[in-house]
Chain A
Amino acid sequence: MHRTAIAARTLAGILSASLIGLFVLPVVALFLYAGGSGLAFAAGDPGFRTALEFTLLASALAVGLGLLTGVPLGYVLARYRFPGRGVLESVVTIPVVIPHLVVGIGLLLLFAPNSPVGRFTAALGIPIFDAVWGVVLVMLYVGASYVVLTSQLAFRSVDEEVLEAARSLGAGPGEAFATVTLPAAARGILTGALLMWARGVSEVGGFLILAYAVYPTPPWNGPVTDAASVWIYNYWGIDPTAAVGASALLVLVALAIFLVVRLLDRTGFAWARGGFFS
């Protein structure tokens, strides 16, 4: 091999390894510092366990709402040409570029208890400020873009001819969507949901403003708590060891969820793999 090529490959290898190291080493440091005892402490701490349970509930609600609203929007952006589509695509990416503390402030201004919108949602039994729906709203804001963008890509990649064939084989528009489009786009949508979930769970800035403490409001009927990330942030100043243990546990939970979803994707979802009518 030419010397220049060897040098270029070596340099590319070093640069790539540096970035991979940057990704992995902090996590390794976290687990090394926490150790088994730190993890056990976090797992046994009632305050953190409550915060973790709350976060899983809120993130599940947020991802559900994200899928409900983001998948249709992704479909529309992928399949239809209309005036203003480019503007709409830009709007979808706004949450990715706005600092999330700013997101919290914006949402607070809109949903503050004494604001018209805040009073309206409270009257509907959906309080936002310092409530589970505030956390859900922040998670939705910071993460739903991923569902929209990945769904859009997934729907765009579904071959028109496959749909055409399905229709000529007797499938109505709804049946063709359910039996062909959705299964073909399922993996992309799933990826978007995972990204949204991960983004929501890792959020701090928006929660600090809109839902620093979460008071019991349905569907959260537990004690007063925080989002797990806020709990860790609070404890970092009081008890760094507890914060590190909780962080490591949160990483483990996230990895476990990723693993379960990926396993399901590999082995399950029969409907998406041709067994729809089985």
Chain B
Amino acid sequence: MSLLEVVDLRADRGSFRLGPVRLEVPPGSATVLLGPSGAGKTTLLRAIAGSLPLAGGSVRLDGAAVEALPVERRRFGFVPPNLGLFPQRRVRDNVRYPLALAGAPDAAAKAANWIERFGLTDLRDRYPHELSSGQRQRVAMARALAAEPRALLWDEPLAALDVESRDVLVRLLRDLLETERLPLLLVTHDPTTAFALASRVVVLDSGTVRRDCTPEALARGPLDRFVARFLGYENLYSASELARAEGASLAPRLIAAAGPGGLVVPPEAVRWRPGPEGPHAAQVAALRWTAAGWVVALRHGSLTFHVATPGATPGVRIGDRVGIDVEPAELKPLTGVPSNGSP
């Protein structure tokens, strides 16, 4: 049971500068690192793990600085983006590796225990290349935990998984956080994983922390373009896109509501009705079926709004003209500048 603290950490990778980054992951909780590609998420994990030297700052476990320790003595269960499984070793040997290194007398039994906890018993004699993505992820997790780490650093642990495998692993991770009481810092691009696991969300951009807040606070806003995309909003418009909008009678209202980074028009903010046109008109440009119902793309001049309709049928056909309006109170302006320190 440890508290992981990152205090004003700085690291350089070529011309890329990371930090200063400050964050805290209490035992038994997960903090999710979010950010666009190249934001510095993996660099941060590597710097904490010790694979990358620090240019400044400190990494602490239960208050004790570990940055002077070599990687192998930090006891971070680091899982890199491509998992780093040993291709020449079978599943059982991958999981047994850290235990054997530590000279554990009951290495095989302990490894077998982790293999069983991750549902890998039937696969124990297979090589990594003989496993599916989800199975490989489980091997990497079992191996990281077999090393008896004091904190977990996982880079995209649930990437490229089907929904079912991901849900199984999320449940497993939640159980582990509860039973092992370890701090988990993980990178993910998947909002479902983030919201299911994280008690804190840290948004990195260009090497610096832009947000450090609860998942709920992240969803409530203020929003920037990256966070809005991460949360799954489709109707994102930059300020210049709105200013240049042609044939869109709603544009002045949208411009008035937009922030420096533009505007999000949530689907629930769009009021539309098939048939007789009101003061503002749109045309059905596309229809898409999702598990939550139909998504209708409405073209309003040069702007397109995606709206959800829960019915079994969309009620319109491509090319139909519809009446449209937006509810100003439900529009979400986008910030154009970093917004730190949300609770």
- Residues of chain A whose beta carbon lies under 8 Å from any beta carbon of chain B: 159, 161-172, 175, 179-180, 183-184, 272-277
8 Å CB contact of A167 from B51, B79, B81: B51
Docked-complex contact A277 and B71, CB < 8 angstroms: no
Which residue on B lies nearest to A172, using beta carbons? B72
Which residue of B84, B90, B102, B143 is within 8 Å of A274 (Cβ)? B90
| Residues of chain A lying within 8 A (CB to CB) of residue B70 | 167, 172
B83 adjacent to A179 (CB under 8 Å): no
**CB-based contact A162/B101 at 8 Å:** no
Q: Is the CB of A165 within 8 A of B87?
A: no
Name the residue on B nearest A278 (C-beta).
Answer: B93
A169–B100 CB distance below 8 A = no
Q: Does B89 contact A (CB under 8 A)?
A: yes
| Cβ A272 vs Cβ B98 within 8 A | no
A contact residues around B87 at 8 Å (CB): 159, 162, 184
Known contacts: A169-B143, A273-B89, A277-B107. The answer to whether A164 contacts B80 by CB under 8 A is yes
Quick check: B78 and A273 within 8 Å, CB to CB? no
Asked whether A169 lies within 8 Å of B97 as measured between CB atoms, the reply is yes
Max chain B C-beta neighbours (<10 A), residue from A172, A183, A272, A277: A277
Alpha-carbon distance between A273 and B80 when the two chains are bound, in angstroms: 22
A184 vs B85: C-alpha distance when bound (angstroms): 12
A170 touches B88 (CB 8 A): no
Contacts A169-B101, A171-B101 known; A273 to B88 CB distance under 8 Å?
yes
Which of B78, B81, B94 lies at the interface centre, i.e. has the most chain A CB atoms within 10 A of its CB? Answer: B78
For the complex, what is the distance from the CA of A68 to the CA of B90, rounded to whole Å? 29
Query: Is B72 within 8 A of A167, CB to CB?
Result: yes
Please, which residues of chain B bring their CB within 8 A of the CB of A273? Answer: 88-89
Asked whether any CB of chain A lies closer than 8 Å to the CB of B34, the reply is no
Show 10 A/B contacts (Cβ-Cβ < 8 Å), sorted by A.
A159-B84, A164-B46, A165-B83, A165-B86, A166-B97, A167-B70, A168-B76, A170-B75, A184-B86, A274-B88
Cβ–Cβ < 8 Å partners of A163 in chain B: 84
A170-B147, A274-B89 known; A165+B72 contact, CB < 8 A: no
Our pick among A164, A175, A183, A275 for the contact of B84 (Cβ within 8 Å) is A164
Residue of B nearest to A184 (CB): B88
With A179-B97, A274-B93, A275-B93: A168-B83 Cβ-Cβ less than 8 Å = no
Q: How far is the CB of B99 from chain A (nearest CB, A)?
A: 9
User: Does B96 have its Cβ within 8 Å of any Cβ on chain A?
Assistant: yes
Question: B97 touching A168 by the CB < 8 A rule?
Answer: no
Q: Nearest 7 CB-CB pairs, A to B?
A: A165-B84, A274-B89, A274-B93, A277-B100, A168-B78, A169-B98, A167-B71
* Residue of A161, A169, A272 touching B144 (CB-CB under 8 A): A169
Q: Is B342 an interface residue (CB 8 A)?
A: no
Question: In the assembled complex, how far is the CB of residue B103 from the closest CB belonging to chain A, in whole angstroms?
Answer: 10
A161 contacts which of B81, B89, B93 (Cβ < 8 Å)? B81
Closest to A158 in B: B87
Q: Shortest beta-carbon distance, B78 to chain A, in Å?
A: 4
Quick one: closest B residue to A180, CB to CB?
B86
Give B88 Cβ to nearest chain A Cβ, in Å.
5
Give CA–CA (A175, B49) in the complex, Å.
18
CA distance A272 to B127 in the complex (A): 13
Closest beta carbon of chain B to A102's beta carbon, Å: 41
Q: Which of B74, B79, B88, B90 contacts A165 (CB 8 A)?
A: B79
Contacts of B89-123 to chain A: CB distance below 8 A: 89-90, 93-94, 96-98, 100-102, 107
The chain B residue with its CB closest to the CB of A183 is B88
List B contacts of A168 (CB < 8 A).
Answer: 49-51, 71-72, 74, 76-78, 144, 147
B189 to chain A, nearest CB (A): 18
With a cutoff of 8 Å between Cβ atoms, the chain A residues found around residue B85 in the complex are 162, 165
A171 to B75, CA, bound (A): 11
Tell me the nearest residue of chain A to B52, going by C-beta. Answer: A164
Q: How far is the CA of A274 from the CA of B93 in the complex (A)?
A: 6
Query: Considering the chains assembled together, what is the distance between the CA atoms of A175 and B80 in angstroms?
Result: 19
A161-B84 Cα distance, complex, nearest whole Å: 5
Residues of B within 8 A of A171 (CB): 72, 101
Q: Is the pair A164, B78 in contact by a Cβ cutoff of 8 Å? A: yes
Are B101 and A175 closer than 8 Å at their CB atoms?
yes
17 further A-B pairs in the complex, CB-CB below 8 A; given A164-B84, A168-B50, A169-B98: A163-B84, A164-B46, A164-B49, A165-B84, A165-B140, A167-B72, A168-B49, A168-B71, A168-B74, A169-B101, A170-B75, A172-B70, A273-B89, A274-B90, A276-B100, A277-B96, A277-B107
